[in-house]
Structure 1
């Protein structure tokens, strides 16, 4: 039986690695890296540095393959994602079949938390649906950018007796503004709500040397966040950011 480990590597700080994740690293003999190209070589390098830092016996190998690109021109967003996931599943199936021997343990180091806005679990479901068996997998949870964001801003994720919603920029609406964490927002969706009485806690590259944190009333810091975000993305070629929006309740304690 072949085994795959889906290891959450946190939001960018190698010290976000849990003890469970370190033990998992030392079980793996093959590490799979889906490379998104030269723009995101920082992410590849960080994965390799984590292996060098935590693996006691360096008798492992790294298999690096190109990650298919999502077609952003499809009329429906979900259609583009479905096609992309299908292409990625084919890549993963080939890796399992040809790069992992029976009895070996392979691993994916996944940004943040493998069960929160990550497609690897769905890819493995597709691989099995396509008939490739003889492998099993385990999920090793990581520290998500959501956790890292509120820790760095030194705030609680929820208010007293209040729920918390986690969504994407594409799905953000005015009904969410009481307490919402937004991920995967490529177009600064928060700008649509500058006329609302809302605080924002924003962070990019959280946990890394490039970390940027901005907080305040949205109407006051919206333009600053947009400018800083654009400059950072231009400088590095990519950006990962997360933010929390919370309707202001003057005089209330969280």
Structure 2
């Protein structure tokens, strides 16, 4: 039975994103759970394994496969049941191990459900979280832009919310994550500039930016091509209204 879960944020694919605290936690772990995403996505597991090898981690590595979501269920119920199923996969992969660690893409506290899943298996005070570099940090660093304007507000949302609600009223800077449908293409005509990035921090990093009305189709085509080439793509973008 799992008693303690250590969640280590590993950034967006660059080994330099791992903190010294994260390194120490992984080097001291006895069992590390590594997810396999499915066909065409094994390189996500390979990135994690290469990082462990680079650090000289001697822990037992236990693999688990992600279950499929039931697309026929309402969204929130679908996610809740999916998290239940993932927790079950963790427990199965852990076996007799009581203490496990996971390498979490980005930061465990930012648009990530790993803590919610861990809470299904152990008490909140038995979950240790070590932060990592978020995709938003990697994006603004890659483009060398500030996240906010002077004294400006920032709204972070998902592609789903943009598709359902449109441009948030009164928003100046909007950062969007978890958008596999290029929802920005529906926001033409708002006087927006977009800064977009995929595979942030990795050798495969792709960046683009410009007035949204002019570059939306180009970015969409780039994303499709990247997914076809790699079998997966992780991207994020920042939208800002012209002053």
Please give the range of the TM-score, normalised by the shorter of the 2 chains.
over 0.9
Which residue of structure 2 aligns with residue 115 of structure 1?
109
Q: Distance in 2 between matches of 1:99 and 1:209?
A: 38
What residue ranges of structure 2 are gaps of 5+ in the alignment?
Answer: none
Which of 179, 183, 187 is the equivalent residue of 1:185? Answer: 179
Corresponding position: 1:174 with 2:167: yes
Instruction: Kindly indicate whether the alpha-carbon contact (under 8 Å) linking 1:92 and 1:123 is maintained by their aligned counterparts in 2.
Output: no
Question: Residue deviations 1:124-165, cap 9 Å, x none?
Answer: 22224xxxx6x9220000001010000000001111111111
What residue ranges of structure 1 are gaps of 5+ in the alignment?
Answer: 250-254
Shift of 1:2: 4.2
Shift of 1:39: 1.7
1:89-238, aligned counterparts within 5 Å? 89-96=87-94, 98-101=95-98, 105-128=99-122, 136-172=126-162, 173-175=166-168, 177-238=171-232
Which residue of structure 2 aligns with residue 252 of structure 1?
none
Instruction: Kindly indicate whether the alpha-carbon contact (under 8 Å) linking 2:27 and 2:58 is maintained by their aligned counterparts in 1.
Output: no
Length-normalised TM-score, structure 1: 0.88
Residue 208 of structure 2: SS of its match in structure 1? Answer: strand
Instruction: Kindly indicate whether the alpha-carbon contact (under 8 Å) linking 2:11 and 2:134 is maintained by their aligned counterparts in 1.
Output: yes
Q: Distance in 2 between matches of 1:233 and 1:36?
A: 14
Length-normalised TM-score, structure 2: 0.92
Instruction: Kindly indicate whether the alpha-carbon contact (under 8 Å) linking 2:197 and 2:205 is maintained by their aligned counterparts in 1.
Output: yes
Question: Residue deviations 1:226-251, cap 9 Å, x none?
Answer: 110111111111110100000011xx
Runs of 4+ deviating beyond 6 Å: none
Residues 194 and 140 (structure 1), Cα distance of their counterparts in 2 relative to 1, 3 Å cut: same
Which residue of structure 2 aligns with residue 25 of structure 1?
26
Residue 142 of structure 2: SS of its match in structure 1? Answer: helix
